[in-house]
Amino acid sequence: MRILLIEDDTSLTEILRYGLEEEGFTVDICHDGTEGLLLALQEAHDMVLLDRMLPGLPGEGVLMRMRREGVKTPVIFLTALGEPMEKINGLDLGADDYLVKPFDIGELLARIRSVMRRASGQASLSLLAFGDISFSEKESKLIHQGQSYLLPKREGELLAYFLRNPQQVLTRLQIIGNVWGPGAEIEDGNLDNYIYLLRKKIKKLPTNVEIVTVHRQGYCLTEKQVV
């Protein structure tokens, strides 16, 4: 799971980076609103942690522009502005949650999980797609050329994560953190076995979509180039 942290307090960003990476998250950091907005618009993230008081462009401006540009990535405001009306205004702008500083890293992690559960529930109402394949999270079905194939729960979760991040190299840590959960420990070879089973199902289809191994980096969902 990839998180964008937009926060100008460098000490706080290092504390949060450490805590989040310990839980298996990948963290991108920006220290001003303008830079953060560009990254939010240009790169795919699963979550944005956004300070309200930022140099360059305030957090409210970052969030408003994201939503105006159609970026639906979940956003949690991190701010010292804790008055009730401040919280109401932040949520009305389109934030998914609002956490007042100072806060405990454990509470932040709990709120991230809560927001992502809600986002996952909303995403399950629609199909994820790449190339000529799609996937229904609600039914755990791989769909190709009008035919559907039921996938076991874990293989379905794995495919959903690849479909949310096509053409990107995903590390083993990223995949395990997103599919099994932050901080999860699984036996060596388990991930490889699930990748093998999922690849086997995709290879049975007349499709150019494939999961490739990127040496010493991870895996990538891509399309074979037809000459």
Domains of the chain: 2-122 (3.40.50.2300), 127-223 (1.10.10.10)
**pLDDT score of 42:** 82
**Peptide bond preceding 102 in cis form (omega within 30 of 0):** yes
Determine the 3-state secondary structure of 100 from DSSP. strand
Helix (H) / strand (E) containing 30: strand 26-30
Contact yes or no for 212/219 (Cβ under 8 A): yes
Nearest C-alpha neighbor of 22 from the set 99, 119, 98, 109: 109
**pLDDT score of 126:** 65
Q: Which tokens hold the place of 120?
A: 């996952």
**pLDDT score of 145:** 86
**pLDDT score of 107:** 93
Q: Could you tell me whether strands 147-150 and 218-223 are parallel, antiparallel, or unpaired per DSSP bridges?
A: unpaired
Query: Average pLDDT per run of 10 along the chain, which is 227 residues long?
Result: 93 94 92 93 87 93 87 88 84 90 92 84 70 87 88 92 93 89 79 94 94 92 79
Contact yes or no for 218/176 (Cβ under 8 A): no
Q: Which tokens hold the place of 197?
A: 């089973």
* Sheet of 141-144, strand order: 127-130, 133-136, 141-144, 147-150
Q: Which residues sit opposite 127 in a β-bridge?
A: 136
Give the whole-angstrom CA distance, residue 142 versus residue 201: 9
